A and B are shown apart, each in its own frame.
Chain A
Amino acid sequence: MSRTASGLTAAIRSSLLGLVGVAGLTAVWAGAVAGGLIDGVPSPAEVFPALTDQLQASELWRATGHTLGMTAAATAIATVVAVLLGTAVGMSAAMDRLLGSTINTLRFVPPVALIPVVLLLMGFGPGSEIAVGAFAALWPVLLNVASATSDLRHRFEDMTKIERLNPVRKLVTVYVPGALPATITGVRLAAALALILVVAIEMLAVPQGLGHQLRFAGDALQLPTMYAYILWTGVVGLLLNTVLLAGERRLRWT
């Protein structure tokens, strides 16, 4: 009882300190701009009103919806492909030899490098966003599923033979439930990566979504608006991570 109480006090204290930190940083930012220490940065007094303006405009919400939609689509496609491939690679040594080295080569290709090629093949639209986002999102899920499945295969090799499980039953009763936590963690990491890549390709090429709005404001030298979009994109990223982390905690061990 007293322990939870003191834990609560500590949590409150730490959030208050956090707020102090945010306020302090904002003050430093305002001071630096007012004192002329940095050039080309709008002051908080310009950025926050710009953010409130934007929050009342439909563009920001449409852009947010677009970017999150692309992120979700990319993550979903990547998850399906990665779970299938990862299970295959983890379940069978032959599949591992067949696919493993190719996977290990492709996963170190920086996803942004694919943007020019994808644009050539799919044009300046949502297809390209999803393709690049999915390419980035593929690897955390694939790697997590493959290594979890392969661990399970080795760990329960004798036991599954004694129980005379056929491959389908092994998949359903051992591999899928056993690899689920690692899969969920992979999906969380994948979604964060997909968001980054979707925003990047929007900034570089596809004229839609948060990335485009941000770049557009920058090119028009509307700095407060650009900073408002940067802040907003950070908030969206933070919320996405928080929601996914909470979801992951909830799904564990149920």
Chain B
Amino acid sequence: MSMRTRLAPALADTHLDGETKVTDRSAAPEGTGSIKVSGVGYGYPGVRTGQRVIDDLEFSVRPGEFVCIVGPSGCGKTTLLKLLSGLIAPEAGSILVNDEAVSGPPENLGFVFQDHGRALLPWRNAVRNVEFSLEAARVPRRRRKDMARDALRRVHLPDVENLYPAQMSGGMQQRLQIARALAATPSVLLMDEPFAALDALTRFALEDALLEVWQELGLTVVFVTHDLDEAIYLADRVIVLRRGPAHVVREVRVDLERPRDQGRTRAEKDFVALRYELFETIRTL
């Protein structure tokens, strides 16, 4: 039994006081939260036809795993997330999410975009933005508010319910986006450099909030970042992509103790060693 199937009902139960579960996790198939990418190739239409951005890409993610993807700018990380989420379809190979071939964005998948301006609706306040994804998932009206408040609390954003995105800082908006992605209880969460535009302290706080939520909910997370330290700090496994066309050059297991701590973990010998190793790999790309 996967971690996902054990923890998800707990989410629904804890905060809804035993109301009917939102999604019946006990009926979830064994592969819930798994990702399998095999032989995937993709080239943007019209751009130097024949030249693929991604070719023969191969990797998989276990349910409940936290995987970070790093690689040089323009190597195809965003393209990969778009493929995983079904926003675009691969030209070759297959992508399975929750053991099902992806054709269009699957249910139970959350996406946190790099640019919150392209994700949050400026005419809805915080709660209503979170409710948006619950509406889309056809959650009955009377349950939405509680679930939305709950999601906001998880990312440490209480008391901002009535603020509009324009009245929030960049970090708050990114938290709000994460809350929205979590609200509909996804089993897979894809994140595209979600903290790239934030200052270091805000970023630390959000990284910890994310890890906390991930451990509580047992999500599968695929997290794209430029920042090696961030990748090591967050991940169970770091996948290094190289450019032209993108493929996996390296996979590094991160066995640092959890829960992690911004000060202690980053000072650990293993952390520093991993950082050195990854840096040398990327440098030679």
Direct contact of A and B (CB under 8 A): yes
Is the CB of B104 closer than 8 A to any CB of chain A?
yes
- CB pair B136–A169 under 8 Å, yes or no, is yes
Contact of B109 among A162, A169, A173 (CB under 8 A): A162
Residue of B nearest to A177 (CB): B123
Mask of A137-172 contacts with B, CB within 8 angstroms, 1/0: 000000000000000000110110111110001000
A180 to B123, CA, bound (A): 10
**Residues of chain A within 8 A of B110, CB atoms compared:** 162
Give A159's nearest chain B residue, CB to CB: B119
Range of interface residues on B (Cβ < 8 Å): 20 to 34
**Interface flag for B87 (CB, 8 Å):** yes
The size bracket of the interface on A is 10 to 19
Query: Would you call the interface of chain B mostly helix, strand, loop, or mixed?
Result: loop
Is B132's CB under 8 angstroms from A173's CB?
Answer: yes
Contacting residues, chain B, for A174 (C-beta < 8 A): 121
Cα-based distance from A169 to B134 in the complex (angstroms): 13
State which residues 80-114 of B face A: CB under 8 Å.
Answer: 82, 85-87, 104-105, 107, 109-111, 113
Please measure, in the bound complex, the distance between the C-alpha atom of A164 and the C-alpha atom of B122, giving whole angstroms: 19
CA distance A178 to B165 in the complex (A): 14
Closest to A178 in B: B123
**Interchain CA distance A159-B135 in the complex, whole Å:** 14
Min C-beta distance of A148 to chain B, whole Å: 12
Residue of A with least CB distance to B135: A173
Would you call A161 and B87 a contact (CB within 8 A)? yes
Enumerate chain B residues within 8 angstroms of A165, measured Cβ to Cβ: 136
Q: Nearest residue in B to A252 (C-beta to C-beta)?
A: B123
Question: Is residue A253 contacting chain B, with contact meaning CB distance below 8 A?
Answer: yes
With A253-B123, A253-B164 known to touch, is A156 a contact of B118 (CB < 8 Å)? yes
- Partner of A159 from the list B86, B118, B123, B137 (CB cut-off 8 Å) is B118
